[in-house]
Amino acid sequence: MAEIITGITRRGEEWTPEFVTDLDQSTCIGCGRCYKVCPRDVFDLVERETDDGFDDDYDDIEDDVVMVMAIKDPMDCIGCSACSRVCPKNCHTHSPQPVAA
């Protein structure tokens, strides 16, 4: 079994960073909270076409396009999970990473 990256907090407690691995654009509302709280350049706002079953709140949007967040550079993620703590729709998936050999 691979060893997982762990660290020690200033209190001396063991901490395992969990890195962003996915963002569910079907539930994202494009609020930008994850973008604003991220200390790195991990996220970007992108256009997504709406589907026929999308929420009626978007009926007035031209061309059936909404803005949602996307993972721009997952390698910049430092594993703080701040994005998932501020997301009102729980769009982010995180996982610990193994120590590089």
> What's this model's pTM, rounded to 2 decimal places?
0.78
Q: Kindly give the confidence (pLDDT) of every residue in the chain, 101 residues in length, as a single tens digit, with 9 standing for 90 and above.
A: 689 999 999 999 999 999 999 999 999 999 999 999 999 999 999 998 776 555 555 555 556 788 999 999 999 999 999 999 999 999 999 999 999 87
Q: Compute the distance between CA of residue 101 and CA of residue 51 in angstroms, rounded to an integer.
A: 44
Q: What is the CA radius of gyration of the chain?
A: 16
- Per-domain boundaries in the chain: 23-90
Q: Which segments of the chain does DSSP mark as H helices, in order?
A: 33-37, 82-86
pLDDT at 61: 52
pLDDT at 34: 97
Residues 6+ apart with CB under 8 A from 52: none
Q: Compute the distance between CA of residue 63 and CA of residue 24 in angstroms, rounded to an integer.
A: 22
Structure tokens at 35: 């973008």
pLDDT at 2: 82
pLDDT at 100: 83
The dotted CATH code for 23-90 is 3.30.70.3270
